[in-house]
Amino acid sequence: MNRSMRAAVGGLVSALLLWAVLAFAGIADTRHNLSITGPGPVKSTTEGEVCIFCHAPHNARRDIPYLWNRADSTVTYTPYQSSTLHATVGQPTGASKLCLSCHDGTVAMGALLTRPAEVPFEGGLRFMPEGRARLGTDLSDDHPVSLVYDSALAASNGELRDPAQLGSLVKLDKNRELQCTACHDPHSNDQGNFLVASNRYSALCTTCHQLLDWPQSSHATSNKPWNGAGNSPWPNSPYATVEENGCGSCHVSHSAAGHQRLMNYAAEEDNCLVCHTGNVASRNIGRELTKLTGHKVQNYVGLHDAAENHALPGVPRHVECADCHNAHRANAGASPGAPRVSGASVGVSGVDRAGLGLAEAQNEYEICYKCHADRNVISNHQITRQIPQLNTRLEFDAGNPSFHPVTAPGVSLDVPSLLAPYTTSSVILCSDCHGNDSPTGARGPHGSNFPALLKKNYVTADNTFESPFAYALCYSCHSRDVVLSSQHPFKDHREHIVGEKTPCSACHDAHGISATQGNAINNARLINFDLNIVQPDSSGRRYYEKTGAASGRCYLNCHGKKHEPKGY
């Protein structure tokens, strides 16, 4: 051996010795010290060497670096998969396969290549004990590993940092694959869980994941702690607030109950309600979901898919928190001006006025249209209308003969009953009528004790005594005094509502009348009769006819009074 070769070998030996010394110094006081001196409950009863459970100075495997002293597991793994995954994930390779030789629980921890017999452990233990560290062979509930992490993947995903920007903490292997060792240093537990860096404030997660608007979102900035009631939202965390736990408030890297997207709980809403029941977040959403009507997220499990497109057929009927809220972007900044989406719903997908899918809704009604438009989840009419329609998108179309102004200002320019600040140029939100019946409760259409998830009472039964409460929803925007006075263009409102005890809904359809079914003569002013109240006249006619800006006539029979016709 010449001098240069001897120098090279000497340098390699010195480097290995230095690495061994440093590794031993870091690992001796951790659970990875499986020798008789180990500090944890899992340790040998006879073996005094620390590094031997993974490495051997002599007679180690030649096909694997690191002087490896263990046999591979021969099992086939179930890798992580997700409908939103852009990477190709196959069987574990490289360092991940080495980690799994203990952590899959199929190879005895004391089965070492350089020991003639299996090294015994306390209590007769042979395999990794049950718990979060034992990953098993089903890796679908664990962060994906052994995937190529390159610029192409980052570009296709859109929310991954380019690997050139990862810095020195998270390291890929020589094949540019992300392995267990990207996040874990098996020789040091300084940061807990053998992490290469602290994950406080999601610092480790965001090394790779750069989610749009995440730094400004509520879940990244809230300093709310758990108040001690109910279940702890962070049972395995040393951190005390929402912002400190960050991603960990909803996600877990290993042994996730919700496999796709690594959720803490299998039931989607449980990941939200563990905080949003007044125990962390101040408003109790869970209580609202138990009311008479609402978006009953607790009735569905495993149906929501982050990749679903509600504009296409085949999406199963369901409602989950994530249909209306994007937890990564919530309250990062609302789109300016009504009827744009609120801060709580920023970054949510939608369906537009034409029925086309949107990656990000720009108006609140587009979020509602995902379930209440062409694929309406409601299959029964609450009122038997002369013109029946379940497609809310068609009811609110700006080309209709009449409609409440949700997608555009209304048709009529003469509505003297409007209360300030509303004018005939106003545009309103779905949530102006549908939402919490308690003004002090959580905002939004989570639940209500009134039918149809209404914020206020709206009686639709015939023979109802008029009162501010009976039609409280209508009187939220329309002055009761004006509606019941001679100032109103339809001066017989009082006669109908008070005298005949006829509900508003007998004549008016609150959403609107589709232009595909109605017309501006018969269906102006939201006229769409309730067939259970309004009957045909003696000639079989049952319709309204607009004759002028503030005039019209009816052909019908109502409460025994024939209009054949009656003009107004």
Which residue matches tokens 């232009």?
A: 515
- Indicate if the pLDDT at residue 423 is higher than 70: yes
Question: Which ranges of 246-391 does DSSP label H, i.e. alpha helix?
Answer: 270-273, 285-288, 321-324, 364-372
**CA angle (105 as vertex; 101, 108 as ends), nearest 5:** 70
- Dihedral angle computed from the Cα positions of residues 34, 39, 41 and 43, in that order, rounded to the nearest 10 degrees: 20
Query: Across the chain, what does the average pLDDT equal?
Result: 93
Q: How much is the pLDDT for 550?
A: 81
Residue 44, Cβ neighbours under 10 Å: how many?
22
How far apart CA 385 and CA 400 sit, in angstroms, is 17
Residue closest to 174 by CA, chosen among 204, 196, 195, 148: 148
- Indicate if the pLDDT at residue 410 is higher than 60: yes
In a 3-state reduction of DSSP, which class is residue 297? helix
Length of the chain: 568
Mean pLDDT of 13-19: 45
Residue 65 confidence class, pLDDT cut points 50, 70, 90: confident
Q: How much is the pLDDT for 198?
A: 96
Contacts of residue 555, defined as CB under 8 A and 6 or more positions apart, other chains included, come to 537, 539, 541, 542, 543, 544, 545, 563, 564, 565
Residue closest to 109 by CA, chosen among 40, 25, 22: 40
Residue 18 confidence class, pLDDT cut points 50, 70, 90: very low
How far apart CA 381 and CA 399 sit, in angstroms, is 23
> What phi and psi, each to the nearest 5 degrees, are found at residue 513?
-120, 125
497-552 pLDDT per residue, tens? 999 999 999 999 999 999 999 999 999 999 999 999 999 999 999 999 999 988 89
Tokens representing 225? 């702690």
Residue closest to 446 by CA, chosen among 217, 251, 266, 283: 283
Name the residue ranges covered by the structural domains of the chain. 1-144+184-190
How far apart CA 447 and CA 348 sit, in angstroms, is 20
Region for residue 286 given its phi and psi (left: phi exceeds 0; alpha: psi -120 to 50; beta: otherwise): alpha
477-487 pLDDT per residue, tens? 999 999 999 87
CB contact at 8 A, 207 and 171: no
Mean pLDDT of 227-247: 95
Tokens representing 384? 């038997």
Q: How much is the pLDDT for 486?
A: 81
315-324 pLDDT per residue, tens? 999 999 999 9
This prediction's pTM: 0.90
CB contact at 8 A, 538 and 507: no
Which residue matches tokens 């073996």?
A: 47
